[in-house]
Amino acid sequence: MDCDLANPNLDAFVDGELDPGVERALEEHLRTCADCRSTVWEIREFRSLFKASGPRFKAPLELRLRVLNLTQHVRAKPSVPQPYAWMAAAAVLVLGAMVVFLVSAPDHSKELSKEAAVDYSRSTGAEPLVELASADFGVLKPWFSDKVGFAPPAIDLHEYGYELAGGRVALLGERPVVALIYKQANGTLIIYCWPPKQDPVSYSQRSVDDLRVYIWANSQCNYVLVERSDDPKISRFVDGFQDQTAPVSY
């Protein structure tokens, strides 16, 4: 056996899944080939690393069953070549671990909602606080770029009955963020936004005192919207806004 023949069999060799004849020939080759020995060593290293990091994630029972189900399904399929079967099983485990990580990552949306509600209450008296009074994103964008190094997307709430009154820089989680202030006869609505890379958020909707707070994200921004009226139109806006834009990819 030479390296070209040995290489595709190394994974199965580590797993002890080779036919006895092939296994003997491969062992013979490994005795004389340092390259293939080092590949075998790497495969073993990687697997033990994988095993060692596996149990750190305590998956919910339902997920564990699903992963088991999938991996057994992959194994039962003889048409899948062994290296791919192994890769598929690994991918399922990694995905499972990621899901568990995402599920168990601390949810700071509650904290964020409270901070946004506090900022909203502080800044919306009879006249909402605005640093730059303009309804023109051509004016607002460069101003924000200069202030926080980031220009918000143009968000038009005309069809929902809100006029843009202007913008200011707010602090959420000790981070300067864009605050866009919209007005209608019944009150004020504020949309806070900042780049998603700094701090990914997941969708949430909750009441904080008498305020309604929506949190969502897309590829451009994280958004927090605060308003007082619990306007069903705004719920529709948030839903529509999520649909229009691409989901965040990590």
Binding site for Zn ion (CB under 5 A): 3, 6, 33, 35-36
Task: Output the smallest distance, CB 3 to Zn ion, in A.
Answer: 3
Judged by beta carbon, residue 13 or residue 143, the one nearer Zn ion is 13
Query: What is the spatial distance between Cα 157 and Cα 182, in angstroms, rounded to a whole number?
Result: 8
Judged by beta carbon, residue 27 or residue 239, the one nearer Zn ion is 27
Task: Output the smallest distance, CB 30 to Zn ion, in A.
Answer: 7
**In contact, 223 and 205? CB cutoff 8 Å:** no
Judged by beta carbon, residue 35 or residue 111, the one nearer Zn ion is 35
Q: For the chain, first and last CA: distance in Å?
A: 43
Task: Output the smallest distance, CB 36 to Zn ion, in A.
Answer: 3
Task: Output the smallest distance, CB 5 to Zn ion, in A.
Answer: 9
Judged by beta carbon, residue 36 or residue 59, the one nearer Zn ion is 36
Distances (CA, A) of 57 to 32, 45, 172: 40, 20, 31
> What φ, ψ does residue 48 adopt, rounded to 5°?
-70, -35
Task: Output the smallest distance, CB 7 to Zn ion, in A.
Answer: 7
Judged by beta carbon, residue 6 or residue 193, the one nearer Zn ion is 6
Task: Output the smallest distance, CB 1 to Zn ion, in A.
Answer: 8
Pairing of strands 211-217, 187-194: unpaired
Judged by beta carbon, residue 36 or residue 217, the one nearer Zn ion is 36
- Residues 245, 248, 250, CA angle at the centre, nearest 5°? 160
Judged by beta carbon, residue 9 or residue 71, the one nearer Zn ion is 9
Task: Output the smallest distance, CB 49 to Zn ion, in A.
Answer: 23
